[in-house]
Amino acid sequence: MLVFYTALSNNMPQLSTPQPLPPGPFLVNTFPASVQAGFPSPAEDHQVERIDLMNQLIKHPQATFMLRVSGQSMRDAGILDGSVVLVDRAIKPESGHIVVAVVDGDFTCKTLQTRPDAFRLVAANPDFADIVPTEGQTIEVWGVVVASIVQHGT
């Protein structure tokens, strides 16, 4: 980055000669000009955008939220305690989707299984029982899990 100084008023001191600053306004200006030094980069014409993980994972940016999972109930699906799941609310939930559902006001992450007459939420861990809606209970699917992120060794 080279900086050019220009004097915009006539009563400015010559910049090459050291002088005390004037008492009044004093304008110093820069121009964004750069001068290449050395051999030009052969890669310059071949630059592409770096892979953006978010772009790869998220189809509906407005409808996608990140939630952190706690507990081991989805262990066998690769979603561990502390995993972050990307939840897309724009996708219509279908049988077999891993979903985030609201049961009695609380979030839970399970696999959705639907039949023509009923549905249940199934854990990916034999230690956890299926969640079957009881009489009068409403279970709401909040969104569909499209990816899960497990961080290792940190």
Partner 1 sequence: MLALVDGNNFYCSCERVFQPWLKHRPVVVLSNNDGCAIARSDEAKALGIKMGAPWFKIRHFEEEAGLVALSANFALYGDMSDRMMTLAAGLGHAQEVYSIDESFIDVSGIPGDLVRRARIIRRRIHQWIGIPTCIGIGPTKTLAKLANAIAKSAERKPGSYPAHHAQICHLGACTPEELHALLVATEVGDVWGVGPRIGAQLRAQGVHTALDLQRMSPAATKAGWSVVLEKTVRELNGVPCIEFEDEPPAKQQIACTRSFGHPITELQDLQEAITEFACRAAEKLRRQNSHTGHIMAFIRTSPHREKDPQYSRSASIPLAKAARAANVLDGHARFSLLEKSDDLLVGKSCGLHIRHSPKLADFVPSIWYGSEGAGQGNSKDIVPPLSIGCQ
User: Under the rule (CB under 8 A), what is the footprint of partner 1?
Assistant: 1, 3, 5-6, 8, 25-32, 60, 62-63, 89-90, 102, 104-107, 140, 142
Residue 89 or residue 120: which is nearer to partner 1 going by CB?
Answer: 89
Residue type, 76: D
Residue 19 or residue 29: which is nearer to partner 1 going by CB?
Answer: 29
Alpha-carbon dihedral sign for residues 110, 112, 113, 117: positive
- Strands 106-115 and 118-122: what pairing? antiparallel
Give whole-number Cα distances, 31 to 1, 16, 38, in Å: 9, 18, 22
Residue type, 97: H
Smallest separation (angstroms) from partner 1 to the CB of 26 = 7
Active site residues per annotation: 73, 110
What single string gives the DSSP state of each residue in 18-41?
Answer: --PPPSS--------B----SSPP
- Nearest-CA neighbor of 124 among 99, 151, 146? 99
Smallest separation (angstroms) from partner 1 to the CB of 94 = 15
Residue 79 or residue 139: which is nearer to partner 1 going by CB?
Answer: 139
Smallest separation (angstroms) from partner 1 to the CB of 69 = 15
Residue type, 149: I
- Rg of the chain's alpha carbons, rounded to an integer? 30
Residue 6 or residue 41: which is nearer to partner 1 going by CB?
Answer: 6
